[in-house]
Structure 1
């Protein structure tokens, strides 16, 4: 199988980095991307600013490959997604040339001539990757497969039980599962926007809406948390080793304290009623929020495992992440900066030479850093190249969030048993209980 390529699923930051590392090791990559260009998922949130600085957003092997083209790495600043593409990811994809195939959707991965049940000779058979190219089926043989497809295509629904709330599909016209482009302030000015979620994306949306509300005081913003307490929602502030990440939560907290944002806790969406002009969220305990012109559902993502049904995987039952890293990234226990970096040994699956890397390797865990993925990629490619010493070595120490101990007990309204233990717990000055519709 040494003459076959390593197939990489996804031409995002980690997928392109995989290809750069493979080339550096003398192994031929083939990157399959469903979108029409590099980093298609990043392009969808190209208006959003990253909290990681440029040096943390460029993979080392990718940088070495690009240096040969005369490319100069951006040294300072915090790009928005579109700048990440134009100044790094697109040049990297161009340098890889026809090793990246666009408009190619992976529909299945298996072992050639062996379904999931067959043991005999399984590891000696190449992988077969089934793809759809503009409606035409193709088969690609591969010596190894690295799935870096991420989770962007499968956002979690609004329903608190992990399934769509009643009426959620009918309310689609009033819902967004991505951070909207708030540069079009007129779309939100003087209107009521509800943000559901407790992660960095939600804080980003709240901060952008605060900017609109300061310019247009009749703008209403409601921030909904499923948990009964704030917990670590506001992050570690100045204790966060990524300053811009810490600042996200700090700014959002100030908006709540100033009364610009109404924060509602313990609100678990069960039903969505729609009118001609908006959507009304109704919780499991019967509370109803005032009608919203737009509901921004930022409740996380989940991995798409549908095309991996013939691959033998060992995933955690809760997070759908590789079992050896699940406990480290479980949001009930840890924040993203309190975990160790992961490598090939952590990501290996029962299916020999198959790996999940990047955001998909974290399953449903809500926090992932580009630098985490780059370290995963370095280690996995070293293992495939037979450099077991380099694969076993961990070259990255993750920056701490300044928050540890998890998010607290789900139903603890006081927050006394959760939140920050590495930094002072955030003080909540305003938690609203929304009026119940008559």
Structure 2
């Protein structure tokens, strides 16, 4: 009797969600092919290895991945411990990719550059569904290609950050000032300390990455005199960044917001609200960040700028596929109403799977952070549920694909700053010399001060 060939599933990205997809594929008797652009599994997580997560280990391990690890003799971390990104890699992602059955299916330093249907361009329709996917990728041997029956794009968004410009475009001069700009969440207290110690540092953004970086900069100022953190906030309500504080069901995240609120109240950092950056200019005095406001020449002058304004997906390699995206969020259209940041906060998004993530191109799915497009509310545990459902759908188990197998904490599972959730945060330190860094248009404000264009 002829043996039936196992369906192959190409998985783009060897992060937490990509590896979970591969684990579920193996469990279903499918053949995963994981293509990771970086030199190691979890390459994006390694970039924020200093960041402590808001969620303990019990929320960060996928079920199918756990089984593979346990079969390999893995000792699970303490469920209640809050890991850093570095611990997530060392104790979970690296062992999963290198010491389990997945090791034969994970290909690192393999960057996907294009995907199509074998023998079909985007326009041709007849017979398209039965053609395998053709995945072109680059590694040390050059440009190669492989075929797969299905594709799960779990490549994430980490390496495609949003720019500083308030209109979604790079600020004029931003590209030319790259040597004084960092994106996301630099390791202010660790490997990047010398870059920021004793400097005037502006942080643009209002999410967890921004406030975590600002907290670390205030701590840095305690041991490095002259370090002056400045918060550039696009909106006019600083209190939105404080989160639920004591009411947050994830205590570590709540304490992050509470700590930041205390720092703002105590005047530990300068603040510019309603700051819509449009121009960045390198001057002898430093980096001049201006708003281009019609009412006045509002600006700050700093030594370094940290842009923590979120991320956006890159679909350039899927141009020959038939994909459909929400026009605002750049996520699968069926998912958009569930994750719209104008409506939802972290934790209000119900579990979802193959049905919401399916594309007009049969067999192609977008999962993980990338599935959320520009929305900032992605939860790791939600990603695990996504790929469980997707793999079930690929395997033909429609009942399992439709079934919800996830219950989330009331406020969700996100990631935070280097704040240790088990200890009280120190707010000691000298007040930054704010007046010398901020233009006359908008003096440093506190959370309770009115936000007007010219102060």
Partner of 1:91: 95
Q: CA deviation at 1:430?
A: 5.1
Aligned residue in 2 for 1:262: 270
* Map of 1:170 onto structure 2: 176
C-alpha contact (below 8 Å) 1:110/1:311 kept by paired residues? yes
Contact preservation (8 Å) 1:5, 1:30: yes
The answer to whether 1:137 aligns with 2:137 is no
TM-score norm. by structure 1 comes to 0.90
Instruction: List per-residue Cα deviations over 1:42-93 (Å, max 9, x = no partner).
Output: 1111111111211111111100110001102112311111111010000000
In structure 2, the partner of 1:251 is: 259
Aligned position for 1:180:
186
1:330 aligns with 2:340: yes
- Deviation, 1:231, is 5.7
| CA distance in structure 2 between the partners assigned to 1:396 and 1:203 by the alignment | 29
Offset of residue 208 of structure 1? 0.8
| Secondary structure at the counterpart of residue 319 of structure 1 | coil
User: Could you give the per-residue CA deviations for residues 344-371 of structure 1, whole angstroms, max 9, x where no partner exists?
Assistant: 1111111111100000000001121211
Q: What is the match of residue 361 of structure 1? A: 371
Change (3 A) 1:188 1:379: same
1:428 maps to which residue? 447
Q: Which runs of 5 or more structure 1 residues have no equivalent in the other structure?
A: 403-426
| Cα-Cα RMSD | 2.0
TM-aligned CA deviation for residue 195 of structure 1: 0.5
The separation in 1 between residues aligned to 2:6 and 2:386, in whole angstroms, is 24
Q: How does 1:364-383 map to 2 (within 5 A)?
A: 364-383=374-393
Instruction: Measure how far apart 1:401 and its partner are.
Output: 3.2
Q: CA deviation at 1:221?
A: 1.1
For the pair 1:351 / 2:361, whether they are aligned, the reply is yes
Check whether the contact 2:390–2:401 (CA below 8 A) recurs between aligned residues: yes
Q: Which residue of 1 aligns with 2:23?
A: 20
Name which of structure 1's ranges 339-348 and 143-152 shifts more when overlaid on structure 2: 339-348
Question: Scaled by the length of structure 2, what TM-score is found?
Answer: 0.86
Q: 5+ unaligned residues in a row in structure 2: which ranges?
A: 413-445
Q: 1:230 aligns with which of 229, 233, 238?
A: 238
Per-residue CA distance 1:282-328 (angstroms, 9 max, x = gap): 01314444321110001110000000111111110000001111121
Of residues 389-398 and 344-353 in structure 1, the stretch that sits farther from structure 2 once superposed is: 389-398
- Counting only pairs closer than 5 Å after superposition, residues 44-123 of structure 1 correspond to structure 2 as 44-75=47-78, 76-94=80-98, 95=100, 96-123=102-129
Q: Who is 2:32 aligned against?
A: 29
Query: Is the deviation greater in 141-150 or in 181-190?
Result: 181-190
Map 1:170-209; keep pairs closer than 5 Å. Answer: 170-184=176-190, 185-209=193-217
Q: Distance in 1 between matches of 2:185 and 2:138?
A: 29
Q: Distance in 1 between matches of 2:107 and 2:196?
A: 38
Deviations 1:253-302 (A, max 9, x none): 11111100222211111101112463111013144443211100011100
- Structure 1 CA distance, aligned partners of 2:248 and 2:207? 15
